Chains A and B, each alone.
Chain A
Amino acid sequence: MSDYDEDAPVLVAVVNNETDFARARDEGWYRIPVKRAPRRVAAEFLALYQTRAFGGVGCAVNFYAPVRRFHVLTRAELLPDEPDHPRAADAYYKIEIGPLQPLARPVPSRALRRISFIPTTLSRLLAAREINDLWLRDDPQERLWLALREAGLLVEYRCQVSQPGGDLAVDFALFCRDGRIAVLCDDADDDETGLRERRPVDYELTAEGWTVLRFSQQELAAELPRCAGAVIALARRLGGQGDLATDYTD
């Protein structure tokens, strides 16, 4: 695939069962419900994140394939063996793909986190060491992420937090020895995952033991060192990240 543009868009999609993986591998397609599609669905490559259901090879992106074409079909057209499914009439994107290619270096999720769709590029996919490397984007949030990484911190990007009332999405999560930090970037492009969780409010997170920091996009753009410094100082007050941070920077 050397003649592809290194900036070719890649959509990382989740596969959580053997049947869907076999469809991708043997029949060359993947499906996404139109109603739950992420903000960015178009791509020239599809990469598959296999969940923990796949055992030892799970919680990692192991394969990718070129996108051949998109179809818009009903579920009944897509899966004719399931005509009575409750969503049989719903529209789906069927993404036709070429042969699965193994990644020379699989991209693991070190924190074994749940993920959904991640838009990235071919060069990022091929160079990534772990799942957070895929999220990089050229915006203020990305620069904050880079600043925290350069400070040696382990930061989970676009992390879902399970709560009794439903999952919450935080922009960055940092797990420290004496506590957890949730960083929320207000007015952020926060639906990129295609997930539709309610936006967290501070008290819900605080009640679950998180310390919350909020930054506006304008603050991130104009005062990045101050924002990053606030996160770094708080991480220190919460005992730092110990071996996690050391491990991450190798």
Chain B
Amino acid sequence: MRLGFPVKVLGQAGLKEHDSRRWQNSPHLSVSLAYLRDIFEYLRRERIGMYRISSDLAPYLTHPELTQFHGQIEECAAELAAVGDLAREIGLRLSFHPSQYVVLNTPDEALVVRSALDVTTQAELLERMGLDDEAVVVLHVGGVYEGRERARERFVVAFERLPEPARRRLALENDDTRFGVADILWIHQRTGVRLIFDNLHHHNFNPDGQPLREALAACLATWPAGVRPKVHFSSPRTEMRIAEQHDPATGRRVQRLQAPIWTRHSDFIHPFEFIAFLRATAGLRPFDVMLEAKGKDLALLRLRADVQRYAPDLAGGIT
């Protein structure tokens, strides 16, 4: 089982995840790829086998008005191939997770087109890196428009309109408020899209009461033989939140304590929850785990040590 983390590296100062210069300073995909190469070297040193690439890797690539950036994938064919070679050399599994603004099932046709372009672009980046079928673009179903069933159907239609590489690279994840495992399974049955099981989302939104092991097994079964599935794992934040509110009596802004929301990610992964998850899912098809924690790579390294300490019988199978 490979553990991975998303985007930002905290364990070593100075490693950026993409060229974040403003458009006036001419950021370039090739500079982002050089940043990615430096991150890969860090991952090699830390023996981390899975990583989520920043969705901003290619700056302004799909910006409708900044057309000077639109040809950068073509321009960077050699550099994309070189980064892909390095990922394969290290045995690194890569993915994208487009931002919340990418929504394939919206009734807004213009937004569908823009979202499809983003998904297609990210799929093309993985293609140009020469990565195998483990490298995916992970997406949520989207919003509930005109009811869940209609929204699911609209996702199917939008999926079928995507070009082939994007359809092949896409993976669909259950979310925490709108579309649970039963929904994404419904979409899988009509499209063949692979499914990503997210444990925290499932705890937060499981209207059908599907047991975790059963839901996970169903998602794992959507991956083709020979391609290792992956899941998302996170722990909920438990501390009090500080909310800033307007006090009508004084006209000033005041801070108030509020109870936690269980959908928010914690800084680190709760080791005992994770160990319990591994024990509860023992015997299922092997999978990789993307850790979604605000501590990023530090959370991964800590979890690895925690499993070694608290469940040494499980530690051997984890990298």
Interface residues of A (CB under 8 A from B): 3-5, 8-9, 34, 39-44, 66-73, 91, 93, 119, 121, 137-139, 189
Report yes or no: B28 in contact with A68, Cβ–Cβ below 8 A: yes
Known contacts A119-B14, A137-B14, A189-B12, A44 near B31 by CB under 8 Å:
yes
Q: Of the candidates B25, B35, B37, which one forms a contact with A4 in the assembled complex, judged by CB atoms under 8 Å apart?
A: B25
Query: Which of B20, B35, B42 counts the most chain A CB atoms within 10 A?
Result: B35
Cα(A137)–Cα(B13), bound, Å: 7
- A residues near B16, Cβ cutoff 8 Å: 9, 42
Report yes or no: B13 in contact with A42, Cβ–Cβ below 8 A: no
Known contacts A39-B38, A189-B12, A67 near B31 by CB under 8 Å:
yes
Q: Of the candidates B13, B15, B31, B41, which one forms a contact with A70 in the assembled complex, judged by CB atoms under 8 Å apart?
A: B31
Known contacts A3-B25, A69-B30, A137-B14, A91 near B82 by CB under 8 Å:
yes
15 chain-A/chain-B pairs, Cβ below 8 angstroms: A3-B24, A41-B34, A41-B37, A42-B31, A42-B38, A66-B25, A68-B26, A68-B28, A69-B28, A69-B31, A70-B28, A72-B78, A72-B79, A93-B34, A139-B13
Report yes or no: A40 in contact with B78, Cβ–Cβ below 8 A: no
- B residues near A42, Cβ cutoff 8 Å: 16, 31, 34-35, 37-38
- A residues near B173, Cβ cutoff 8 Å: none
Report yes or no: A40 in contact with B14, Cβ–Cβ below 8 A: yes
Cα(A70)–Cα(B35), bound, Å: 10
Q: Of the candidates B13, B22, B33, B79, which one forms a contact with A138 in the assembled complex, judged by CB atoms under 8 Å apart?
A: B13
Interface residues of B (CB under 8 A from A): 12-16, 19-22, 24-26, 28, 30-31, 33-35, 37-38, 41-42, 78-79, 82
Report yes or no: A44 in contact with B28, Cβ–Cβ below 8 A: no
- B residues near A70, Cβ cutoff 8 Å: 28, 30-31, 33-34, 79
Nearest chain B CB to A216 CB, angstrom units: 17
Q: Of the candidates A3, A41, A72, which one forms a contact with B38 in the assembled complex, judged by CB atoms under 8 Å apart?
A: A41
Query: Which of B14, B19, B41 counts the most chain A CB atoms within 10 A?
Result: B14
- B residues near A66, Cβ cutoff 8 Å: 25
Nearest chain A CB to B44 CB, angstrom units: 10
Dominant SS at the B interface?
Answer: helix
Nearest chain A CB to B104 CB, angstrom units: 32
- A residues near B22, Cβ cutoff 8 Å: 3
Cα(A162)–Cα(B233), bound, Å: 50
- A residues near B25, Cβ cutoff 8 Å: 3-4, 66
- A residues near B20, Cβ cutoff 8 Å: 5
- A residues near B21, Cβ cutoff 8 Å: 4-5, 8, 44
- A residues near B37, Cβ cutoff 8 Å: 41-42
Nearest chain A CB to B282 CB, angstrom units: 35
Cα(A202)–Cα(B42), bound, Å: 28
Cα(A43)–Cα(B38), bound, Å: 10
* Chain A residue at minimum C-beta to C-beta distance from B81: A72
- B residues near A43, Cβ cutoff 8 Å: 34
Nearest chain B CB to A248 CB, angstrom units: 25
Cα(A66)–Cα(B26), bound, Å: 10
- B residues near A4, Cβ cutoff 8 Å: 21, 25
Nearest chain A CB to B18 CB, angstrom units: 10
Nearest chain B CB to A157 CB, angstrom units: 16
- B residues near A3, Cβ cutoff 8 Å: 22, 24-25
* Chain A residue at minimum C-beta to C-beta distance from B35: A42
Q: Of the candidates A39, A44, A73, A137, which one forms a contact with B19 in the assembled complex, judged by CB atoms under 8 Å apart?
A: A44
Report yes or no: A9 in contact with B28, Cβ–Cβ below 8 A: no
Nearest chain B CB to A144 CB, angstrom units: 16
Q: A5-B21, A42-B34, A91-B82 are in contact. List 11 more A-B contacts (CB 8 A).
A: A39-B41, A42-B35, A68-B26, A68-B28, A69-B28, A69-B30, A70-B28, A71-B30, A71-B79, A73-B78, A137-B14
Nearest chain A CB to B14 CB, angstrom units: 6
Cα(A44)–Cα(B24), bound, Å: 14
Cα(A39)–Cα(B14), bound, Å: 12
Cα(A4)–Cα(B24), bound, Å: 10
- A residues near B78, Cβ cutoff 8 Å: 71-73
Cα(A139)–Cα(B19), bound, Å: 24
Query: Which of A67, A121, A139 counts the most chain B CB atoms within 10 A?
Result: A67
- B residues near A138, Cβ cutoff 8 Å: 13
Query: Which of A8, A44, A91, A139 counts the most chain B CB atoms within 10 A?
Result: A44
- B residues near A8, Cβ cutoff 8 Å: 21
Report yes or no: A40 in contact with B38, Cβ–Cβ below 8 A: yes
Cα(A70)–Cα(B79), bound, Å: 8
- B residues near A73, Cβ cutoff 8 Å: 78
* Chain A residue at minimum C-beta to C-beta distance from B77: A72
Cα(A42)–Cα(B79), bound, Å: 13
Cα(A26)–Cα(B260), bound, Å: 59
* Chain A residue at minimum C-beta to C-beta distance from B42: A39
Nearest chain A CB to B153 CB, angstrom units: 44
Nearest chain B CB to A91 CB, angstrom units: 7
